[in-house]
Amino acid sequence: MPTLVIIGALWGDEAKGKLVDVLASDADYVVRYSGGNNAGHTVQAAGHTFKFHLIPSGVLHKNVTAVLGAGMVVCPKAFLDELETTKQKSPELGRILISSAAHVVFPYHRTLDALEEENRGEGKIGTTSRGIGPAYQDKVARVGIRMCEFVDPERFRARLCEVVEYKNRVLDMHGKPGISIEPIIEEYSAYADKLRPFVCDADFEVNRAIHAGKRVIFEGAQGAMLDLDLGTYPFVTSSHPTAGGACLVGLPPKKVDNVLGVCVAYTTRVGSGPFPTELSGEFADRLRIAGNEFGTSTGRPRRVGWLDLVALRHSCLMNGFTSLAVTRVDVLSGFGSIKACVGYKIGDEVTTEFPADTALLSRAEPQFETLEGWDGDLSACKSTNELPSGARGLIEFIERYTGVPVSLVSVGPNREETIVRDRGLLI
């Protein structure tokens, strides 16, 4: 199938990076379409661990054009650092393009991110402090600086002066020191010189490629439940990590062939916000360590909990997944029987519908089904039949509850530790 959108089905960190890397061997383009370096995608290949924050995970394949698309907010320094560390481990990369319509993240966005979190007090979102929210605020307020302006020295200076004058009025209101323009111009002009060769109307090229029948993967960042409109507002990111997000920046809806929703065999979340199946205490600590559940971008310990099928089914509905990938199935080995949430008790009522009201969700008591667990090392399993019956049972339970087939099962962090159940549902 020519186009595949891959997204995190719940709150992010579902190991999309590994799957994009695996599937990119069959792709011509891999396109990121939302977020910035708040994302963290880990790929283990050729004896190295790669951590991608901005560059699409398919870049390790020489045949792939990796696109930082419109819809993204790009920190130039983070991009250049990431490119450098990636090249040190893998000198031959695919072609990289940056959309001229992507927005640039500046130091003042990070300052404002910290300031806004401080002002939220108890209600803080637990952002990644990368300036993502403030960069998107500028975009929506129509004062953001786009890549096409950034790489044009005259326009960059003029736009930055305009924006900084406004930002300084805001900082002054908070009693904070203002921003000096010249140091930013000096540092960022050097970045602009290095970025210029990558910047083009990449979204147009991707669209032409789609129409020419090329195989294109759209790589979502974060997870669908962090979507600005469909997620657990206000504990969300500032963009659209849903399948529809890819359409907002140039994938024509009628050209979407497959949509892969990636979920972990349990659930994780970073930052604040309701998490009905969250676990605590020693069991949670053991699971966090077994799954190495520490943020790729920030190193923060991730919150962990049982698989939330109510949230997953909601995500299936919103994103129209044509199949699911279940990752980190190996991590649950040796944990005894496992649980999956099949309903929420809110007040006196039990519902299987995910409420849009975050206040209701925070009162939801999970109703669990207990499933058979399993032991042993799963990393060598090449088909579902080779999995222990408990792990097979979990996959089948997910399929029955959501009504969506599971096309991929990940049983370890390496490329090879992947069971492909139905290639026809992928790319």
Task: List contacts with ligand IMP (CB under 6 A).
Answer: 12-13, 38-40, 125-128, 130, 132-133, 221-222, 226, 235, 237-238, 270-271
Active site residues: 13, 41
Q: Which is nearer to ligand IMP, 86 or 128 (CB)?
A: 128
Alpha-carbon distance of 351 to 366, in angstroms, equals 10
Give the shortest CB-293-to-ligand IMP separation in angstroms. Answer: 11
Alpha-carbon distance of 412 to 415, in angstroms, equals 8
Q: Which is nearer to ligand IMP, 38 or 242 (CB)?
A: 38
Q: Which is nearer to ligand IMP, 238 or 267 (CB)?
A: 238
Partner residues linked to 68 by β-bridges:
32, 98
Q: Which is nearer to ligand IMP, 122 or 282 (CB)?
A: 122
Alpha-carbon distance of 245 to 253, in angstroms, equals 10
Give the shortest CB-229-to-ligand IMP separation in angstroms. Answer: 14
420 CB contacts (<8 Å, ≥6 apart)? 407, 408, 426
Give the shortest CB-319-to-ligand IMP separation in angstroms. Answer: 17
Alpha-carbon distance of 111 to 218, in angstroms, equals 31
SS3 per-residue string spanning the chain: CCEEEEEECCCCCCCHHHHHHHHHCCCCEEEECCECCCCCEEEEECCEEEEECCCCHHHHCCCCEEEECCCEEECHHHHHHHHHHHHHHCCCCCEEEEECCCEECCHHHHHHHHHHHHHHHHHCCCCCCCCHHHHHHHHHCCCCCEHHHHCCHHHHHHHHHHHHHHHHHHHHHCCCCCCCHHHHHHHHHHHHHHHHHHEECHHHHHHHHHHCCCCEEEECCCCHHHCCCCCCCCCCCCCCCCHHHHHHCCCCHHHCCEEEEEEECCEEECCCCCCCCECCHHHHHHHHHHCCCECCCCCCECEEECEEHHHHHHHHHHHCCCEEEEECHHHHCCCCCEEEEEEEEECCEEECCCCCCHHHHCCCEEEEEEECCCCCCCCCCCCHHHCCHHHHHHHHHHHHHHCCCEEEEECCCECCCEEECCHHHCC
Give the shortest CB-396-to-ligand IMP separation in angstroms. Answer: 28
174 CB contacts (<8 Å, ≥6 apart)? 115
Give the shortest CB-256-to-ligand IMP separation in angstroms. Answer: 22
Give the shortest CB-382-to-ligand IMP separation in angstroms. Answer: 29
Give the nearest residue (CB) to ligand IMP: 271
Q: Which is nearer to ligand IMP, 226 or 342 (CB)?
A: 226
Q: Which is nearer to ligand IMP, 7 or 318 (CB)?
A: 7
Give the shortest CB-127-to-ligand IMP separation in angstroms. Answer: 4
Q: Which is nearer to ligand IMP, 269 or 313 (CB)?
A: 269
Give the shortest CB-361-to-ligand IMP separation in angstroms. Answer: 15
